[in-house]
Structure 1
Amino acid sequence: MPGPHTINKYIPPLNFSPVISTEVSLYRSGYPMAINYSFIVDQLHLKTVVYIGDKADLLPEYASFLEREQITFVHIPMDSCRDEGINERIDEVLRMIVNVDNYPMLLHSNKGKHRVGIVVGIVRKILQGWSIASIYQEYGLFSGGMKDETDLEFITMFVSHLETYKDKLPKFVRM
């Protein structure tokens, strides 16, 4: 039982940041660890977690945490933007993002840099109408200045075949 002077320490995952924080909450980060769980539960109140990454198996403690908290988990396999079938997998993530029923939502990869950076860049481009220069700048901030030119070209050239339902669209979407 916390005492009167106990301070709860909330530690966000590596590279954590809000992506959208209007009527819905979309976040990005690296792979959450046990030290981040109280932050996720008490601060984010997540309904959905989307892992964009190459690890086929979740860490057992993470799987238990998601199940215990009744957070829907979706794994989108991705090693890089050069993967076969990557456009379809990105569209799968976008379908989740354009459905208000999935919020609040966390998108994460292993370090929260390149793979999540690609998805967030595409969200900025396709759903929000950001300029390519602004997308590149944000990508650079989260990648620690280590821009992957292939990732940036992929974001620039990406064309979505996304179909949406107006009654499920979050207000931030500008389609």
Structure 2
Amino acid sequence: MVYIPPLNFAPVISTEVLLYRSGFPMPLNYPFIKDQLHLRTVIYVGDKEIADDYKEFLDEQNISYHYIHMNSCLDPEIHQQMDRVLRLVLDIENYPILIHSNKGKHRVGVVVGIIRKLLQGWSTTGIYQEYGIFSGGLKGAADLEFITMFNTELTVDKRKLPDFVRNFEST
């Protein structure tokens, strides 16, 4: 069988826990997701409800699905939305996780940038470089500014933190 990963698919973390990023999976990607990723959780950061066939696929695979409505980093609710994503990412029981948006560029780029910054201690230069690779260049000035300025007061159970988390203050 030939497997076809979703658009802009890549591992974000590939240690004991697995965190992936991509664009919106299509039916031709389902065998790859099912046979290769063995997901427990999917987080969709986007602006559209998912198609029935995708929801059925996730249900059949017993994959927990979280839709976090996100128009852009200019959305007035963006901090609360980002905290919802982080709460899921900061709980080891949710892994392996796929975070996707429609194309896997800007919204996922912001989420991954925040993960790199807050949880892994990456430099701004490294975050911007990775963002540019997936977005086709540094075209999202507002996204990059949001990543740079974002901070959270989210508290989580440190006993549930994945091993890759280095820089997160928790209870």
Asked if TM exceeds 0.5, the reply is yes
Indicate yes or no: 2:103 matched with 1:150.
Answer: no
Indicate yes or no: 2:14 matched with 1:42.
Answer: no
- Residue of structure 2 in register with 1:84 after alignment: 76
* 1:151-170 matched pairs, under 5 angstroms: 151-170=143-162
Unaligned runs of 5+ residues in structure 2 are none
Amino acid at match of 1:103: Y
- Residue of structure 2 in register with 1:74 after alignment: 66
Amino acid at match of 1:14: L
Q: Aligned-pair distance for 1:147?
A: 2.1
Indicate yes or no: 2:14 matched with 1:24.
Answer: no
Amino acid at match of 1:33: M
CA distance in structure 1 between the partners assigned to 2:78 and 2:66 by the alignment: 16
Q: Aligned-pair distance for 1:146?
A: 4.7
Check whether the contact 1:139–1:147 (CA below 8 A) recurs between aligned residues.
no
Indicate yes or no: 2:6 matched with 1:13.
Answer: yes
Instruction: Find runs of 4+ consecutive structure 1 residues off by over 3 angstroms.
Output: none
- Residue of structure 1 in register with 2:98 after alignment: 106
Question: Aligned pair count?
Answer: 167
CA distance in structure 2 between the partners assigned to 1:27 and 1:147 by the alignment: 23
Check whether the contact 1:15–1:112 (CA below 8 A) recurs between aligned residues.
yes
Which SS does the other structure have where 1:41 is aligned? helix
Q: Which has the larger radius of gyration?
A: 1
For residues 62-101 of structure 1, the C-alpha deviation after alignment (integer angstroms, 9 at most, x for no partner) is 0110111111000000010011111011011001001000
Q: Aligned-pair distance for 1:48?
A: 0.3
CA distance in structure 1 between the partners assigned to 2:153 and 2:139 by the alignment: 26
Amino acid at match of 2:84: E
TM-score (norm 1): 0.94
Amino acid at match of 1:108: H
CA distance in structure 1 between the partners assigned to 2:54 and 2:71 by the alignment: 20
RMSD: 0.7
CA distance in structure 2 between the partners assigned to 1:75 and 1:11 by the alignment: 23
For residues 40-80 of structure 1, the C-alpha deviation after alignment (integer angstroms, 9 at most, x for no partner) is 0100000000000000x211110110111111000000010
Which SS does the other structure have where 2:36 is aligned? helix
TM-score (norm 2): 0.96
